[in-house]
Amino acid sequence: EVEQPDAILLDVMMPEIDGFSTLKQLRANQATQQIPVIFLTAKVASEDRHQFLQLGINGVITKPFDPMSLATEVETILGWVP
């Protein structure tokens, strides 16, 4: 059995294919549809965040972010913090 990641951090703006298209492909694949997805984005407007969350992602982390606190942010978004 292939191991799956615990979560996927997905940049909204990527070359070749954007985060929205990648998310759509992940959700269409039975093997990856249940993996939590967190968007990384420089878009900070509340309406953008709301739109992202309506797509079924688990959370949004705003860029630039502090790499030292990234793991804690992911844990908090996914409810992994005891």
Average pLDDT of the chain, as a whole number: 91
Instruction: Work out the average pLDDT over 65-74.
Output: 95
Instruction: Work out the average pLDDT over 10-37.
Output: 93
Which CATH number does the domain housing residue 69 bear?
3.40.50.2300
| Long-range CB contacts for residues 40-48, cutoff 8 Å, separation at least 24 | 40/9, 40/10, 40/11, 40/12, 40/65, 41/11, 41/12, 41/13, 42/13, 43/12
In a domain, 82, yes or no: no
How high is the pLDDT of residue 49? 82
In a domain, 58, yes or no: yes
Check pLDDT > 80 for residue 82.
no
Check pLDDT > 80 for residue 1.
no
Q: Which residues pair with 37 in a beta bridge?
A: 8
Instruction: Work out the average pLDDT over 40-66.
Output: 89
Q: Full-prediction pTM beyond 0.85?
A: yes
In a domain, 1, yes or no: no
- Counted domains in the chain: 1
In a domain, 39, yes or no: yes
Residue 58 sits in which domain range? Answer: 8-77
